[in-house]
Amino acid sequence: MKILFETGNQGKLKEVQAIFGALGHEVEQLKDEYPEIQADTLEEVVVAGLEWLWNKHKMPIIIDDSGIFIHSLKGFPGVYSAYVFKTLGCPGILKQMEGIDERKAEFKCCAGYVDSEGKITTTSGVCQGRIISEMRGSGGFGYDPIFVPESHEETFAQMDLEEKNTLSHRGRAFRSLAETMGKE
Ligand code: IMP
Q: What is the pLDDT of residues 5-46, one digit of tens each?
A: 999 999 999 999 999 999 899 999 999 999 889 899 999 999
**Gap between the Cα atoms of 181 and 158, Å rounded:** 31
Which sequence spans correspond to the domains of the chain? 2-183
Q: What is the pLDDT of residue 182?
A: 75
Instruction: Check if 160 is active-site.
Output: no
User: Quick one: pLDDT at residue 184?
Assistant: 65
Q: What is the pLDDT of residues 85-144, one digit of tens each?
A: 999 999 999 999 999 999 999 999 999 999 999 999 999 999 999 999 999 999 999 999
Note the pLDDT of residue 12: 97
pLDDT score at 40: 93
Collapsed DSSP state (helix, strand, coil) of residue 27: strand
pLDDT at 183 over 80: no
- Residue pair 126/169 in contact by the 8 Å Cβ criterion: yes
Number of the ligand 1 atom closest to the C-alpha atom of 85? 10
Show Cβ contacts of residue 134 under 8 Å, excluding neighbours closer than 6 positions: 94, 146
Query: Would you say 126 and 107 are in contact if contact means Cβ atoms under 8 Å apart?
Result: yes
Instruction: State which fold the 2-183 domain adopts.
Output: Maf protein (3.90.950)
153 pLDDT more than 90? yes
Cβ < 6 Å from ligand 1: which residues?
A: 9, 64-67, 81-82, 85, 107, 140-144, 156, 168, 170
The bridge status of strand 61-70 relative to strand 120-131 is: unpaired
CA 137 to chain centre: 19
- Measured in Å, residue 78 CA sits from the centre of ligand 1 at 10
Quote the pLDDT of residue 42. 97
Find the mean pLDDT for residues 64-84: 97
Is there a contact between 107 and 67 (Cβ–Cβ < 8 Å)?
Answer: yes
First and final CA of the chain: distance in angstroms? Answer: 13
